């Protein structure tokens, strides 16, 4: 049983560019969340998707957007990249009726130069 898979694992962008990160949830999971983990900090909630809609959003600007597909996979898009967007981006999935347990992928490490 594959867990949560993310791609790419590493990428480098320059300021002002756009990036798309991808996530496939664990089998049987229908809810996907994205977290940003800056160096030396705990993960911060970006948003959550269920039934192809954004259900909840953290304190992130509109430059951060997402999408969920009918197969429950998800994308995170960041426009107009800033140096401060450099971080590990973690995708997590769960079943909607689960008591909060999230399963995390290994993350996509974004470096903005």
Chain contacts with another protein (rule: CB under 8 A):
4, 33, 35, 40-45, 48, 55-56, 58, 90, 92, 94, 99-107
CB of 65 or CB of 104, closer to another protein: 104
Q: Evaluate the CA torsion angle 54, 78, 75, 24 in order and state its sign.
A: negative
Nearer to another protein (CB atom), residue 35 or residue 72: 35
**Minimum gap (Å) between residue 82 Cβ and another protein:** 22
| Closest distance of CB 31 from another protein, Å | 8
SS3 101: coil
Distances from the Cα of 73 to the Cα of 12, 51, 57, 84, 98, angstroms: 23, 11, 18, 26, 18
């Amino acid at each position: 049983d594959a867990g949560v898979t993310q791609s790419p694992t590493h990428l480098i962008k320059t300021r002002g560019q756009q990036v798309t990160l991808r996530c496939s949830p664990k089998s049987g999971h229908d809810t996907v969340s994205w977290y940003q983990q800056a160096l030396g900090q705990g993960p911060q909630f970006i948003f959550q998707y269920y039934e192809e809609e954004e259900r909840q959003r953290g304190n992130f600007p509109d430059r951060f957007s997402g999408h969920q597909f009918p197969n429950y996979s998800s994308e995170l898009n960041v426009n107009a990249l800033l140096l401060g967007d450099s971080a590990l981006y973690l995708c997590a999935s769960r079943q909607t009726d689960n008591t909060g347990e999230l399963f995390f992928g290994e993350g996509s490490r974004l470096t903005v130069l």
